[in-house]
Every structure is written in structure tokens, then in C-alpha cells.
A and B are shown apart, each in its own frame.
Chain A
Amino acid sequence: MEEYAREPCPWRIVDDCGGAFTMGAIGGGVFQTVKGFRNAPVGVRHRLRGSANAVRVRAPQIGGSFAVWGGLFSTIDCGLVRLRGKEDPWNSITSGAMTGAILAARSGPLAMVGSAMMGGILLALIEGFGILLTRYTAQQFQNSSPIVEDPKQLPPKEEARGYGQYQ
């Protein structure tokens, strides 16, 4: 499978909306399977039917909530890319904070501030982890020291070379 790269704006909005819906529906489906099984009356048939009904009713709603979050986040992200003219982690962090604030608007200004902080911190953690992962994977592709002129200083040929060795 090829590497999955993100789409450029504005198609990224649709892509992220679909990805968020998928995560929410599948993850929510797993949770609702367990919750429906436990909340059903006694009996194997009752419990299995309870699981199926809970997944059928609740999984699309959870997916829809995730889709709203993902779609709004990408919309604000693409707007910031257009306004600032650059793509960096600050766009994602600001988008996460603004998404949290907007989706908590009905609960009042205090809840907006709390949700904005939670969104910003979450995206900051995600971006930080992404940067660390990028640096870690970049070290795998570093070349080793150049070959010396004297061939007698080379290691023996029977020794197996690592994947990262480019000689």
C-alpha cells in the first residue's frame, strides 16, 4: 500500500470529515457493542440483540459528532493556511482551540474557554508527537561515515550489514 498523504486544501476538508466519521463510527461501534451487551436483559439472544441495536442506533451519532469536529477543524485549518500563507503546527493548534470554542458556544463563555484550552492542548500534543516521530524516522536514513581509501580497513565481508547502512 502506498503512503497515505493528506489532500491539499480545500479537498482536505472532505477527506478529514470522512476520516473523523470513520473513526467515530467504528470506535463508537466497539464501545456500544460492550455497553449494549451489558445493558441488555439476561439471556444470550437478548444481549446480542441489545448489542446490535445499540450499535445501529448510537454508532452513526458518534460518527456524526466526530465528523462535525473533523470537518470544522479542517475548515478553520484551511482558512488559516489561506490567511497566513504558511503551513506549520501553529495552524493545527489554533484550529483545535477554535473548534473546541465554537462547538461549546451554546454552553457559555466559560465553557468555550475550557474547550478551547482542551482542544489546543490536545493538538499541541499531537503535533509534538508528530515532530518527534519525524525526527526519529529521519535518523534511520543517515549515511554512515565515508569509505576510507585503504580497503584493508573495511570490515570483513561475511558480516551482515544493517538496513540503514549505505555503503
Chain B
Amino acid sequence: MDNSTPPPGGFKGGLGSIFGGGTPEYSNTELSGVPLTGMSPLSPYLNVDPRYLIQDTDEFILPTGANKTRGRFELAFFTIGGCCITGAAFGTLNGLRMGLSETRDMPWSKPRNVQILNMVTRQGASWANTLGSVALLYSVFGVAIEKARGAEDDLNTVAAGTLTGMVFKSTGGLKGVARGGLIGLAMSGLYALYNNWDHLKGKSPSHY
């Protein structure tokens, strides 16, 4: 027959899809007007409208038994790197402050610039190394405790934090060990509390 003159309903539906915009809505009246037998506006050879094949790109295909969130081992390097960079940033600011205060009575000349630059670089490196070491101890203890217990919960966080504090302050004797353990326990306890704040408040999180 004469395909150049489709029925009026199909013609209007087709033009509506073309001029309607980039996001057509799939109501019944819209779908009834879309021709599916070689009359698609995209290509006359398609029997199926490819717009139906658009899927949500945020979906993941997970194997059986695999968890969606990243484990503690995957986050260890990010934690250590983040602590190093954060320590370098704060150490640089502290070095700038110390350098400016110590050379206050000097005129702006090359010795003063060199002094400030040395303070900035040394303080930045020192803070980065210290915070990186703390993060490394925490991550190693966390992964070890997780493997030993075979469970993933916040007890690992608190235990790893406490052990980190104890080891980091162990050079000061038993008093240092006790103080470091208390500091580690407090900080990791606060972090675990923050991590579970949604559960404690009774909300149901939507991103799980």
C-alpha cells in the first residue's frame, strides 16, 4: 500500500515523539502512537524502538556472595594516602607559621626566605610521615583483626584504634601505652559512633 501516508494517529504520534523533546514520556497514549513495524523515526529497519533499551547505568552485576561496599583492605591505601596528604598540608601551614614567627625581626632577604622555606618543608614532611605511620598501623591492625575474627563490624575499628594508640605511644613505658590506648579508644569510638549515626537515630538509609 501507500506507506508514505501513514494513519493520522500514527503520524501525529511520530511527530510528537520527534518534536516533544529529548525525554519522551511513555504513557499509554504516547505508546499507542509509536509505530513498531518498520515505521520508527530512527530507522525504517528497526523492529524495536531502541529507547526501550536504555538502562540505569548505576546498576552493578554482583556475583553471588559478593558485597557491594569496598572492604577494609581496599580502603587501606586510600586511608594512608589521605592521611599523608592531610598531614603534609597541615604541617606546611604549621611550618609557615613557625617560620614567620621565628624570623619576625629579620628583614625580607635571602636568609629569611631560606629559613621559612626550610621550616615549611621540614614540618610538612614530619607531619606527613607521622600521620602516615599512624594510618598504616591502623590499617594493618584493622585488616589483621578482620581476618582473625572473620567479621566486619565496628569492633574491628575500635580494636584497631586502641592497638594503634598503644603501639604508637609504647616508647613512653606502661604509662604511655595506657594513655595511647585511651586516646585510640576514644577517637575510634567517636568514628564508629559517627559511622553508625543513621542507625542510632532510627533513620533507614537509602544508599545501602
Given A21-B136, A63-B136, verify A15-B77 contact (CB < 8 Å).
Answer: yes
B130 proximal to A (CB < 8 A): yes
Across the interface, do B129 and A63 meet the contact criterion of CB distance under 8 Å?
yes
> What are the residues of chain B within 8 A of A18 when measuring CB–CB?
76-84, 132, 135
CB distance from A110 to the nearest CB of B (A): 23
* Bound Cα distance A24, B83 (Å): 15
CB distance from A69 to the nearest CB of B (A): 12
Interface residues on B, range: 20 to 34
Across the interface, do A60 and B81 meet the contact criterion of CB distance under 8 Å?
no
Given A18-B84, A61-B129, verify A11-B136 contact (CB < 8 Å).
Answer: no
A91 proximal to B (CB < 8 A): no
> Residue B81 contacts which of A1, A2, A4, A71 (CB distance < 8 angstroms)?
A71
CB distance from B67 to the nearest CB of A (A): 9
B17 proximal to A (CB < 8 A): no
B182 proximal to A (CB < 8 A): no
In chain B, residues 67-119, which have Cβ atoms closer than 8 Å to a Cβ of chain A?
Answer: 71, 73-74, 76-85
CB distance from B146 to the nearest CB of A (A): 11
A17 proximal to B (CB < 8 A): yes
B166 proximal to A (CB < 8 A): no
A56 proximal to B (CB < 8 A): yes
Closest to B79 in A: A18
In chain A, residues 105-160, which have Cβ atoms closer than 8 Å to a Cβ of chain B?
Answer: none
* Bound Cα distance A88, B84 (Å): 28
Across the interface, do B81 and A63 meet the contact criterion of CB distance under 8 Å?
no
In chain A, residues 15-73, which have Cβ atoms closer than 8 Å to a Cβ of chain B?
Answer: 15-19, 21-22, 25-26, 56, 59-61, 63-64, 67, 71
| Residue positions of B touching A, CB distance < 8 A | 66, 71, 73-74, 76-85, 125, 128-130, 132-133, 135-136, 139, 171
| Residue positions of A touching B, CB distance < 8 A | 1-2, 4, 7, 11, 13-19, 21-22, 25-26, 56, 59-61, 63-64, 67, 71
- Enumerate 12 A-B pairs (CB-CB under 8 Å) in ascending A order: A1-B73, A4-B73, A16-B77, A17-B81, A17-B84, A18-B78, A18-B82, A21-B84, A22-B77, A60-B129, A67-B84, A67-B132
